[in-house]
Amino acid sequence: MRLDELDRRIVASLTDDARRSYRTIGSEVGLSAPAVKRRVDRLVDAGVIERFTTVLDPRALGWTVEVFVEMFCEGRTPPAVIRTTLARYPEVVGAYTITGDPDAMVHVRASDTRHLEATLERIRSEPFVIRTRSVMVLSRLLERQVPLDVSLG
């Protein structure tokens, strides 16, 4: 789906604050609330907007340690097996198949290093995991959604 300028502005407004009312968004972009709702519904139906969610600050909730773990698996472990296994760990906040030597990159959050160590030990004990290699995040420099103002063509 190709977004026009009004769609981009609506999506940008929702990205900034998904609790913003259709009336407020409409006043920002020059449309009525029902017109904004129709456009948002169309964006949802087209899959441009996947979901509306709340973004939590993990540090405020006590999850102060953030690590990326390269996971090396035996044989040809299917991605579905890796996903199903990692989904059991609440500390795993993201998991990705990647290019290169590791089979997966796992994004882990923990409350402290003891919690991290225990989580890594549990992950390493999975029958298909050969080894892991971890890097700890010291600070987040940049994190954002897909940019809306970049032309793809």
pLDDT, tens digit, for every residue of 89-145? 999 999 999 999 999 999 999 999 999 999 999 999 999 999 999 999 999 999 877
Which residues, other chains included, contact 122 with Cβ-Cβ below 8 Å and sequence gap of 6+? 89
- The domains found in the chain, sorted by start residue, are 5-45 (1.10.10), 58-136 (3.30.70.920)
Using the predicted structure, report yes or no on whether residue 40 has a pLDDT greater than 80: yes
Q: Which conformational region is residue 69 in: left (phi greater than 0), alpha (psi within -120 to 50 degrees), or beta? A: beta
* 2 CB burial (10 A radius; 0-12, 13-18, 19+): exposed
